[in-house]
Amino acid sequence: MGGDAVDIWQHLASRKIMLLKSMKLAVQELEDPYAVFSYAQEIGFNSGLLTQDILDKMVAAYNSANNKQATVEQEITPVATTAPTEVIANNSADELGRTIAPIAQHEPFDVRFRNNLPDWSVDDFSENASDAPQDIKVHYDITGKSVTEGKMSDINSCFSDRLEKIRKMIIRNSNLPKPPQEIARLQIEYSRYQGYGNTAVAIGLVNEPRYTKNGHLIWGIEDETGEMTCLLTKRQGDDRDRAQEMILESGLMPDDVLGVSGSFSQTGDIFYVSDLYFPLKPKHQKASSEHGVSVAFISDIHVGSKTFLEAQWHKMVRWFHTDPLAKTIKYLILSGDCVDGVGIYPGQDKELAIPDLYGQYTEFARLLELLPEWVECVMLPGNHDAVRPAEPQPTFEKDIQQDYNSTTFVGNPCDFSLNGVRLLSYHGKSIDDFVAGLRTVTYSDPVEAMRQMLRRRHLAPQWGGKTPLSPEPEDGLVINEVPDIFVTGHVHGHACIDFKGTTLICSSTWQDQTSYQRMLGFQPKPCILTIVNLKSHATTAIPFA
């Protein structure tokens, strides 16, 4: 064989070329596999599933270039499958990179390495999951604690609780020039706070943020005593301030809690803002586990939909049972929309492979049972799941939970710890509001919404937007403690970055592009397993699509 087998599989994976086990023998028998695969682009094969026909074409191109006849004929026994023959026949070789139709047998290629480089080291992922104790500690979950009656008094209590909690964070974490004062008192004494050096400070809730025709930002700020109108002007030249430019660039969310400093106009009807203050401290220090086990993240599996990528799920299962890195994964976090649900949007019944809601949950339980016994799943609901739509959402009912074995059920959001490392898992419905409300947040970059949530120490500040909220007397969407790992889903994207000491993860979906996404021109990033080690905080991502 012209090369070590592991090196060849790494080389193919780096070029996004997949092959079935039945094709490995044919590749290993090549005299010079690297030279043969250098002709892939010449025959129009850039990535996808390698078939015998494609391999023969590359060999022919290689032999032709070297002025010699092909001397080796390779016969490969076809893989047995119960997939409908018309599905196979209607797909060309270039279209076989992703199989949407479920098949009976799944043979994943080796994906331990990507980009021809190791994605992980034993030092960073140092302990097998079976060698460490299971340690899941829930700090906050609304399940069993929802007491709201939806009255105006509940709404007032919710906002008062939010204001009180985040005000304390701003005072503690921000460098305020002086202690904040009640807005009503500032308005009475406005003449004391006019001109340079006569600074006033207030903390309150944002009302109706909007832009003027000159690009200035104007909003109301309200506390328990009153409301005043704030103006952040767009400055030029040397007067520009980068922090203020960022606020002017992005905007503010309705019902944000923030601090402002500045001075009043001559008439006292406008408060000219010189600085704004958010509750997030400059840097968070991560906690590390004593055990070098890992946690993996996925979301939005949408079992029951015709676009659920079942073949890729089985590819992941095979990886879990065979790859050394998988043996370090003790926890799998499922951040909502595990099933597609029923009656979620008009015409959904036409896009369902499993039209019964309980049948969808039963099928998902069966799919989770395929994972190794050392993996403990933590499952929370999303907006497609069979729980109330208003957030915070309690966990699933007992009649749904009964089909699941190695699964811990929590609400959405959930603040919990795994072996001493603090996680905040939130499905992410409010990303829709951040996209609509802030200029810098887009569906193609959902982690920017997560950054904004952390800056505000609140998961869904806007009342009456796209995210239904439950007015609990204690606001359950305030981020009371900065997490070591913050994970969302919902938008079917994928990202893993560090922000001020917190690892931000946008979990990948297991659903192919839907008709609605196709209409919008949105391309999801499916079937990527994000992995974080709880001791080293090293991260990696394994693609299965």
Residue-wise DSSP of 230-244 = EEE----GGG--HHH
- Residue 154 falls inside a structural domain: no
CB-based burial label for 97 (10 Å; 0-12, 13-18, 19+): middle
pLDDT at 518: 84
Residue 539 CB neighbours (<10 A): 19
CATH number at residue 300: 3.60.21.50
Please check the confidence at residue 393 and state whether its pLDDT lies above 90: yes
- pLDDT of 15 reads 72
416 and 439 part of one domain: yes
Identify whether the C-beta of residue 74 lies closer than 8 Å to the C-beta of residue 52: yes
Residues 305 and 380 in one domain: yes
The reply to whether 522 and 383 lie within a common domain is yes
Assess whether pLDDT exceeds 60 at residue 22.
yes
One domain, residues 388 and 521: yes
pLDDT at 239: 57
> What are the start-end ranges of the E strands in 344-488?
376-380, 407-409, 414-418, 421-425, 485-488
Lowest-pLDDT choice from 112-121, 169-178, 386-395: 112-121
Q: For residues 244 and 272, what is the distance between their CA atoms, to the nearest angstrom?
A: 13
- State whether 297 and 251 are in the same domain: no
Q: Answer yes or no: is 122 within a domain.
A: no
Q: What percent of the chain has pLDDT over 70?
A: 86
Dist CA 396 CA 247 (whole Å):
39
pLDDT of residue 478: 98
- pLDDT above 70 (res 76): no
Same domain flag for 338 and 486? yes
Sole residue written with tokens 């799998």: 332
Question: What does each C-alpha distance from 258 to 111, 169, 220 come to in angstroms?
Answer: 46, 10, 11
Residue 298 shares a structural domain with residue 334: yes
Beta bridge partners of 416: 138, 423
Q: Convert the pLDDT of each residue in 160-219 to its tens digit.
A: 999 999 999 999 999 999 999 999 999 999 999 997 778 999 999 999 999 999 889 999
Q: Are residues 198 and 247 in the same domain?
A: yes
| Number of domains the chain contains | 3
Cα dihedral 62, 65, 71, 75 sign: positive
Confidence of residue 464 (pLDDT cuts 50, 70, 90): very high
- Tokens representing 262 are 């500045």
Instruction: Give domain status of residue 30, yes or no.
Output: yes
Which of 277, 305, 339 is the C-terminal boundary of a domain?
277
Domain that holds residue 384: 136-146+283-543
42-46, 87-91, 127-131, 353-357, range with the lowest pLDDT: 87-91
Specify whether 296 is located in the same domain as 251.
no
CATH of the domain at 187: 2.40.50.140
Domain match, 273 and 287 both? no
Question: CA geometry: angle at 160 spanning 164 and 156, to 5°?
Answer: 175
Name residue, tokens 């010079």.
Answer: 32
CA distances from 125 to 14, 75, 241, 322 (A): 22, 41, 43, 16
Q: Cis bond leading into 413, ω under 30°?
A: yes
